[in-house]
């Protein structure tokens, strides 16, 4: 290769290196300038001067790199820059940039403890949030959710992240009742269970079976679930079963402890957070496992009363229309008129209390029979509901039929 061509290649490469290095110094300056300004104004000034020189040198490096590339393109006989100038200048600037980077590193070390403290404070805040979830005290915004659809969507996403040696089978029962919960937290529950199942199987062959079904659970079945004492009634049950290594009894008893983990450093709080989320959703969890036999998690979430009630009313001959909110209910009542035979109102509605709606309906149609459903059976609520009858959720069929008889219907 001719000497001139070698110098040209070398100079272009050197200017490209300069552009990258000076650019890196600018990034470091932009990252640490706030810490410098807050701790030592003099160092901030020196660093600003260094950054300005870095910016100027970056522009020069890009310019001379373009110039030399263009010169090489039109031939060495017409080089616009003499070889004697750029080469030593470039080598000097390469040396300068390393000196500047060293100085910047020394200065930055003064601020690292502050930034490190900030990172640790952020990690502490995250840990506090997780502990609040574990305790079931984190604020939530529950809404009606289709758990089957949520699980199906997550299953599709997870198929690409688990090893191909693991078979994932997702089964969702059609026409499931909704559950009341926060989507992000229930997604975390499903992801935790699926991730744990994949970890239990490891790199070998295995399978994970996920199912979502609607079931009526009696008192005897619910005694096997952890959590607050669950009332007998309708539930949506999420089941995740794997063919992994399983757990012994000592591990099974501790898996929901916030600082217990079988996965090494930094992997705790997963199932502890799950327990807190289920506590906040008035749900329960049952675990069947043994070493070498895999693990099966069952999550029981109370079915939303609206679906249960709609089915019960349909079974006794009512044609049921479903509306949400005070305004929509008043519009529906006005459009139906005298054909409206019964109003069933939830005490807590998204755009106003159910009691307010019941009173407005009573003003418009004093003879209209009404049922108010409530999560709690408080004496003051029962008194305030009159002349409407109050039913406590979960609503059992015999309680509903007795209330209908009291309102004058025959079932």
Query: 265-277, pLDDT tens digit by residue?
Result: 444 446 777 888 8
- Range of weakest confidence among 97-111, 286-300, 389-403: 97-111
Average pLDDT of every residue of the chain: 71
Which residue in 143, 166, 96 sits closest to 348, CA to CA? 143
> Element (H or E) spanning 71, and its range?
helix 41-74
pLDDT at position 27, please? 63
Please report, rounded to a whole number, the percentage of residues in the chain having pLDDT higher than 90: 11
Sign of torsion over alpha carbons 121, 123, 126, 128: negative
Tokens at 204, concatenated: 């070998």
pLDDT at position 223, please? 83
Residue 307 has pLDDT above 90, yes or no: no
Residue 405 has pLDDT above 70, yes or no: yes
Contact at 8 Å (CB) between 15 and 68?
Answer: yes
Q: 147-303: which CATH architecture?
A: 2-Layer Sandwich (3.30)
The model's pLDDT over 184-198, given as tens digits with 9 standing for 90+, comes to 889 888 888 988 898
Tokens at 49, concatenated: 């001067």
pLDDT at position 31, please? 60
pLDDT at position 350, please? 57
The model's pLDDT over 310-342, given as tens digits with 9 standing for 90+, comes to 777 888 888 888 776 788 888 888 888 878 888
Burial of 38 (0-12, 13-18, 19+ CB in 10 A): exposed
Q: Which residues pair with 298 in a beta bridge?
A: 239, 286
Residue 237 has pLDDT above 90, yes or no: yes
Tell me which residue has tokens 């300056």: 29
Residue 225 has pLDDT above 70, yes or no: yes
End-to-end CA distance of the chain: 101
pLDDT at position 288, please? 93
> What does the alpha-carbon distance between residue 291 and residue 246 come to, in Å, rounded to a whole number?
4
Q: What is the mean pLDDT of residues 203-220?
A: 88
> Element (H or E) spanning 289, and its range?
strand 284-289
pLDDT at position 221, please? 85
pLDDT at position 138, please? 52
Q: How confident is the model at residue 301 (pLDDT cuts 50, 70, 90)?
A: very high
Contact at 8 Å (CB) between 143 and 68?
Answer: no
Residue 64 has pLDDT above 60, yes or no: no
pLDDT at position 13, please? 59
| Higher per-residue confidence, 214 vs 378 | 214
Q: Which residues pair with 374 in a beta bridge?
A: 392
The model's pLDDT over 40-55, given as tens digits with 9 standing for 90+, comes to 555 555 555 655 665 6
> What does the alpha-carbon distance between residue 256 and residue 271 come to, in Å, rounded to a whole number?
5
pLDDT at position 172, please? 93
Q: How confident is the model at residue 167 (pLDDT cuts 50, 70, 90)?
A: very high
Please report, rounded to a whole number, the percentage of residues in the chain having pLDDT higher than 70: 57
> What does the alpha-carbon distance between residue 140 and residue 132 come to, in Å, rounded to a whole number?
11
Sign of torsion over alpha carbons 219, 220, 222, 227: positive
pLDDT at position 135, please? 46
pLDDT at position 96, please? 53
Q: 306-406: which CATH architecture?
A: 3-Layer(aba) Sandwich (3.40)
Contact at 8 Å (CB) between 295 and 288?
Answer: yes
pLDDT at position 347, please? 76
Residue 241 has pLDDT above 90, yes or no: yes
Sequential DSSP letters for 189-249: HHHHHHHHHHHHHTTS-EEEEEEEEEEEE-HHHHTTSBSSPPPSEEEEEEEEEE-S----H
pLDDT at position 304, please? 78
Q: Which residues contact 76 (CB under 8 A, 6 or more apart)?
A: 2, 4, 5, 8
pLDDT at position 84, please? 39
Domains 147-303 and 306-406 share a fold: no
pTM: 0.50
Which sequence spans correspond to the domains of the chain?
3-110, 147-303, 306-406
| Higher per-residue confidence, 226 vs 297 | 297
Residue 376 has pLDDT above 70, yes or no: no
Tokens at 242, concatenated: 């794997």
> What does the alpha-carbon distance between residue 68 and residue 85 come to, in Å, rounded to a whole number?
12
Q: Which residues pair with 241 in a beta bridge?
A: 209, 296
Q: How confident is the model at residue 236 (pLDDT cuts 50, 70, 90)?
A: very high
């Amino acid at each position: 290769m001719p000497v001139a061509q070698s110098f040209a290649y070398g100079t272009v490469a050197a200017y490209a290196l300069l552009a990258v290095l000076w650019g890196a110094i600018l990034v470091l300056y932009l990252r640490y300038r706030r810490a410098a300004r807050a701790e030592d104004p003099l160092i901030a000034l020196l660093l600003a001067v260094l950054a300005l020189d870095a910016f100027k040198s970056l522009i020069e490096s890009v310019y001379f790199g373009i110039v030399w590339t263009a010169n090489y393109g039109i031939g060495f006989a017409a080089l616009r820059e003499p070889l004697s100038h750029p080469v030593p200048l470039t080598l000097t600037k390469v040396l300068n940039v390393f000196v500047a980077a060293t100085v910047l590193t020394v200065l930055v070390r003064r601020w690292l403890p502050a930034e490190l403290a900030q990172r640790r404070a952020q990690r502490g805040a995250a840990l506090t949030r997780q502990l609040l979830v574990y305790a079931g005290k984190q604020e939530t915004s529950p809404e009606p959710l289709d758990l089957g659809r949520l699980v199906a969507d997550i299953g599709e996403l997870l198929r690409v992240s688990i090893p191909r040696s693991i078979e994932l089978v997702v089964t969702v029962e059609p026409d499931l009742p909704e559950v009341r919960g926060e989507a992000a937290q229930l997604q975390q529950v499903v992801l935790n269970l699926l991730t744990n199942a994949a970890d239990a199987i490891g790199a070998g062959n295995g399978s994970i079976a996920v199912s979502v079904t609607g079931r009526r659970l009696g008192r005897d079945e619910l005694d096997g679930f952890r959590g607050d004492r669950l009332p007998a009634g309708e539930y949506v049950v999420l089941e995740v079963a794997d063919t992994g290594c399983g757990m012994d009894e000592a591990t099974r008893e501790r898996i929901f402890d916030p600082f217990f983990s079988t996965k090494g450093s930094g992997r705790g709080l997963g199932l502890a957070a799950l327990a807190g989320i289920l506590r906040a959703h008035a749900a329960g969890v049952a675990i069947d496992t043994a070493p070498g036999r895999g693990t099966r998690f069952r999550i029981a979430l109370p079915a939303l009363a609206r679906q249960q009630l709609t089915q019960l009313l349909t079974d006794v001959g009512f044609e049921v229309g479903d509306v949400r909110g005070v305004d929509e209910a008043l519009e529906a009542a006005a459009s139906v008129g005298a054909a409206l035979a019964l109003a069933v109102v939830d005490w807590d509605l998204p755009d106003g209390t159910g009691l307010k709606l019941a009173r407005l309906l009573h003003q418009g149609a004093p003879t209209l029979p009404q049922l108010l459903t409530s999560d709690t059976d408080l004496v003051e609520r029962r008194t305030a509901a009159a002349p409407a009858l109050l039913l406590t959720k979960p609503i059992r069929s015999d309680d509903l039929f007795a209330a209908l008889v009291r309102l004058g219907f025959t079932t």
